[in-house]
Chain A
Amino acid sequence: MRSGFRWMLSATLVAGLGTMVGCSGSKDGGEKTGTAGKAATTGIGTPKPAFEGDAPKGAYVHDDIDVGKYGGTFVIGTTGNPKGFNPLIANESSTTEILFGPVFQSCWHYNNAKQEEEPGLCEKYVRSDDGLSYTFTLREGLRWSDGSPMTTDDFEFSYKVVIDEGVPNSLKSLFRQGDTEDGKPRYPIFEKVDDRTFTFKLFEKNVLFHGAVGSIYAIPKAKWQKAFEAGEFNKALSLQTPPKDIVSSGPFVVADFKTEERIVLKRNPHYWKVDRDGNRLPYLDRVIFVIVPDFNTSMLKFRQGETDVLDVRPEDYEALKKKADADGYAVHDLGPAFNTNYLMFNLDDRNDKEGNPYVEPMKQGWFRNVAFRKAVSHAIDRDGIVRTVLSGRGEPLWAFTSPANKKWYPEGKVTKYPYDLEASRKLLAEAGFAEKDGALHDAAGNRVEFTIITNSENSTRIAMLNVIKDDLKKLGITANIRPVPFNDLVTSLRDTRNFEAVLLGWGTGIPPDPAQSKNILLSSGRSHAWYPEQKKPVTDWEARMDELVKLNTGAFEHAERRKYSDEIYQIFADKLPQIMLVVGADAVAARNNIGNLKPAPLRPKTYWNIETLFFKTPKKR
C-alpha cells in the first residue's frame, strides 16, 4: 500500500514534466515549407491537411472578409453532447450547433451578423410570380468532402428523407402544406431540372419557403441511399459511424469523437468558398469542440487559455472584463439578447376532463381583465430586475420580439408600462378592486392571491419572480412562487393546464421572422399558451391577430409584412396576453488574435462564420 502511494507521488512529478514536454513539443508553427499548390505562393502559410484539386468553378467568393492565414486549432467549449451526426434528424442545439455550419452547410444561408439571407451551396433561386414555384441553382463544380460531385440528386434524396413518414424529424413541419385528399400530409413536389437545377412546386404560398430549403443540410445520396431503403436511416450517421463515412459539405469534416469529451474537426479539402485573393477556405486547420459539464467549467477553460471563445453570462461579465487586457482576450458587447422573458396568466376558461375549471372562476375573472394585466405590468419594476437579477446587464422589454431583432423589432410602436404604482392603483380601482387592511380585494370581496410557476432549473427566472413578488406586494397582491422541474412545467402548460400564472421566456428561430412565431400568435396555435388551440378566436383582438398573421405570411415584400407585424406586436403589447419583462445584454469573449471575428447575438454567437476565422499570430500553448 505504501508503494501505491509512492507511485502516485512519482506519477505527479512525471506528469508535471510531461506537460512541459507537451508544451514545447506542440505544433502549429504554420511555417511554410514550399509545398506545391496555390496557398504556397500567397505567403499566408500552408494548410494542413492540404486542399485537394482546385476550388470549384462556381466557388463562393468572400470579398467582405480580411485575407487570413492558414493553420491553427480553434477550440470551443460546449456544454452539450451531440446526439449523432445526421443533419436531417438532428433537433437538439447540442447537435445542431456543431453540425450546422462547421460540418454541413445548406443551399441557402443565413448571415447571423447581418440578419440577412445569402447564397450558400446554391448560387441563386428564382421564385415564380405566383409564389408557387422555386427554382434553385447549385454552384458549378461542387464536391463532397470525399471528392464525389454534389448534384441535384443529393438534394432530391435528402428532401425525400425529410418528408418520409418513417423518419421522424422536425423539418417536415416547415414543408408540410395541409393534407392530400386521402388524408396524408401534403408536401411540395421536387422536380429535377438538370444536375445543378431543381424546382419545388408548392400548393400554397409560404413566405419562408427558401428558408425551409435552407434548413435542409443535404447528405450524399450515394453514401446513404442503401441505409434509407433498408429502413435503417435512423441509425445512419450515428455517433458510432466511422468519421470517414461522415461525408460533409461544410468547411470541416469530423475527425474524431469521444462522448462527453470532445469532437475534433479537420479541414474539408473540397470546401467551396474562397477569399478575394482566391485562397481557399477555411483558414483553420482544425476545430475542437471541448465538451464541458457546465458553464462554470467552460469559463475556467477560457480563462486558462484552453478555449478561444466564450459566451459570457451577465454575472461573469465584470470579472472577465477585468482580466481581459492582461490575458490577451477581449469582451465584446453584442447589445440586447434575443431571449425574452415574460409573465403570463392562464386565460383558458375551459374545463378539464372531470369537468372542473382549469382555473378558479374568480381568479379567471381577474386574469381576463385587461386592466388587471396592465396594472400588474405597471407594478413591475423592470429596471429593478435588470439591476438586481441581471447585474445591470439588460434592459426593460415591451415588445414580443427583442430589440436585437434588426428586421422586425417594432421600435417606438408598442405601448410601454413604466414602473408606476399610482397608475396601477388607478387601473385597479376602475376595475372594481379595492385595498383593505393592506390586501387587495376584488369587487366581490375576494382577496387577490395567485401562484406563479417557473422552472426550478433556472435561477435567473426564480430571482426575477422574487422581485415581482415584492413589487406586487406593494399593490396588496399576494403572489406565491412555485419553482417546478421543467418537465412538470411543460406538462402543466400542455396537458393539465392547471397553472395560474407562469414566468418563462422565448428563444428565437432562425431567421427571427414573425412567421416563425405562428404557433404562438395564432389562436389555433399549440404554443398560444394563455389559451391554446382555440376552435374559433375567443376575443376580437385574437381574431384580428389571426388575420394579421395570415396577411403577414401571405406577402413577400418586407415593408408590407412589417406593417402587419407592427400591428401584431402593438395588439400584443396592448392586450398583454404575455407581459414582457426584460432582455439581457449579450456578450462574448474571444482571444485577441482571432481574425474576421464578427460575433452576433444569434447562436452560435462566435463561430457562425467559422470558415473565415483565422489566427493572426500562431497560437502558443
Chain B
Amino acid sequence: MWTFIARRLLAIPPLLLAVTFLTYCLLYAAPGDYFTRLAEDPQVTEEYLSALRAKYGLEGGLFGRYWAWLINAIQLDFGDSFRFDLPVFDLIAERLSNTLLLTGSALIIAWGLALPLGVMAGVNQGKWLDKGASFISFVGLSIPRVFFALLMVMFAAVTEWFPVGGMRDQIYWDDFTPWEQVVDVAHHLVLPAIVIGTTSMAGYMRQMRAEMVETLSKDFVRTARAKGLSKRQVIYKHAFGNAVNPLITLFGYSLAALLTGSFLVEVVFAWPGLARLTVDAVFAQDEPLVMAAVLVATLMLVAGNTIADLLLAFVDPRIRLE
C-alpha cells in the first residue's frame, strides 16, 4: 500500500509539469492578453500599454515566459493576479474554503439522499417506492443544473424566503453576532447546496439502485435467505456491503469534483468560490491566477482518485494495491 502511495506521489511532478505547460501554451496562443481590451480606449496610449506589459511580465516568447513562471513556482511564488493585484494564493485560499463549504454541503446532501433512496428503491424493485425514486432521479438527471439553479434563484426572488445570491448578507454582516453570521451563511448556502446536491444525487441513486438489484439476485443472497437470516440482515449486512463497492470509487471521484463541480451554480448564485474566480480569470486572461488554479485543481483530482483507490482497497479485501 505504501508503495502504491509513493508511486502516486512520484507521478505528480511530471503530471503537473505537463498540465501547466499545456495550460500556458493555450494561454499564450489565445489572441491578445489581459491588457488588450484596454487598447480600444482612444485615451490609452501605446507607451502605457507596453509599460503595463513590462510590469506584469507579459513580454517575451512562450518558453521564456513559462520558464520564468516555473522557476518562481518552484519557489512557491505564483505571482500576483492581474485582475486583483493580489498574490494568487491568498485569493485561492480564500475562495477554496468558500467552494469547499458549498460543495461539501452538497456532497453530504447528495450521498445522504442517494444511498438510502437507492437501497430502498433496489429492495422494493417495481413497487411505488421504486417508481417514485426513479421519477425523482430522472427529473434530477434531465434538468440541466444551470436551469435548476436559475429556477431556484427565481424561487428565491419571488418568495423572498431565501437570498438571491452571495454567501452572506452584504449589507448588515458587520452588525451580526457570530451566531447570526453562521446562520446567515447557512441561509445563503441552502439553495445552491440543494441544487448541486440533488442534481448529483440522481446519478448516484440510479447507480446504488442498479447495484442493489443486481446483488439481490446473486446466489449468496439466496443462500443467506435459505439459511433463514432475517430480511433485514440479508439486505443491510450481506447485500448492501457488496453492492456499495462501485459507489465508493464514485465517491472518490466526487471528491475530485469538489472543486470543479460547482462552477455554474457558483456563477448563478454569485457564490464567491474558486470556480467562478477561475473561469473569470480564463476569460480575462489573468495568467498567474489561471495557472495557480489549474495547479490546485490538478492536485485535487489526483488526491481524489488516490483516496478513491485507497477506499476501495479498504472495503474490498479482494483488491490489493501494489
Contact = CB atoms under 8 A, between A and B. Distances in A.
Contacts of A292: 165, 270
Given A260-B272, A261-B166, A293-B270, A170 B113 contact: no
Interface residues of A, number: 75
B55 A168 contact: yes
A299 to B, nearest CB: 10
Nearest to B165: A297
A326 interface: no
Interface string B40-68: 11111111100110110000000000000
B121 interface: no
A338 to B, nearest CB: 14
Contact of B32 (A1, A303, A490, A504): A490
B167 interface: yes
Contact of A4 (B112, B180, B187): B112
A342 B84 CA distance: 33
B32 A487 contact: yes
Contact of B86 (A239, A293, A504, A525): A239
Contact of B176 (A22, A92, A520): A22
A507 B42 CA distance: 10
A519 interface: yes
Nearest to A1: B112
Interface stretch (B69-77, B130-138, B156-164, B296-304): B156-164
A238 B86 contact: yes
Nearest to A84: B85
A572 B248 CA distance: 70
B209 interface: no
A21 B184 CA distance: 11
Interface in B256-280: 267, 270, 272, 276-277
Given A485-B31, A509-B43, A5 B108 contact: yes
Nearest to A14: B183
Contact of B113 (A5, A173, A527): A5
A222 interface: no
A75 interface: yes
B83 interface: yes
Contact of B30 (A15, A174, A297, A487): A487
Contact of A173 (B39, B47, B193): B47
A170 B43 contact: yes
Given A306-B170, A490-B37, A15 B184 contact: yes
Given A8-B193, A306-B171, A509-B43, A15 B186 contact: yes
Contacts of B308: none
A592 interface: no
Contacts of A83: 83-85
A297 B272 CA distance: 14
B186 A300 contact: no
Interface string A119-153: 00000000000000000000000000000000000
A531 B167 CA distance: 49
Contacts of A17: 183
Contact of B48 (A173, A485, A525, A621): A173
Interface residues of B, number: 66
B48 A15 contact: no
B38 interface: yes
B111 A1 contact: yes
B276 A290 contact: no
B94 to A, nearest CB: 7
Nearest to B49: A168
Given A22-B169, A262-B170, A490-B36, A240 B183 contact: no
A238 B105 CA distance: 34
Interface in A291-336: 292-293, 297, 300-301, 303-304, 306
A488 B31 contact: yes
Nearest to B48: A170
Contacts of A185: 47
B55 A15 contact: no
A526 interface: yes
A234 interface: yes
A445 to B, nearest CB: 36
> Which of A185, A260, A300, A506 gathers the greatest number of chain B CB atoms within 10 Å?
A260
Contact of B270 (A239, A297, A487, A621): A297
Interface of A: 1-2, 4-5, 8, 11-12, 14-19, 21-22, 25-27, 73, 75, 81, 83-84, 91-92, 168-170, 172-174, 185, 234-235, 238-240, 256, 258-262, 264, 288, 290, 292-293, 297, 300-301, 303-304, 306, 485-488, 490-491, 493-494, 504, 506-507, 509, 516-520, 525-527, 621
Given A22-B172, A509-B42, A525-B42, 11 more contacts: A8-B109, A11-B189, A11-B190, A73-B171, A83-B83, A292-B165, A293-B267, A490-B36, A491-B31, A491-B36, A621-B172
5 contacts: A1-B112, A4-B112, A14-B183, A15-B187, A486-B37
6 smallest A-B Cβ distances: which pairs?
A487-B32, A15-B187, A18-B183, A168-B51, A527-B42, A1-B112
Interface of B: 30-33, 36-48, 51-52, 54-55, 83-86, 90-91, 94, 105, 108-109, 111-113, 115-116, 153, 157, 160-161, 164-172, 174-176, 180, 183-184, 186-187, 189-190, 193, 267, 270, 272, 276-277, 285
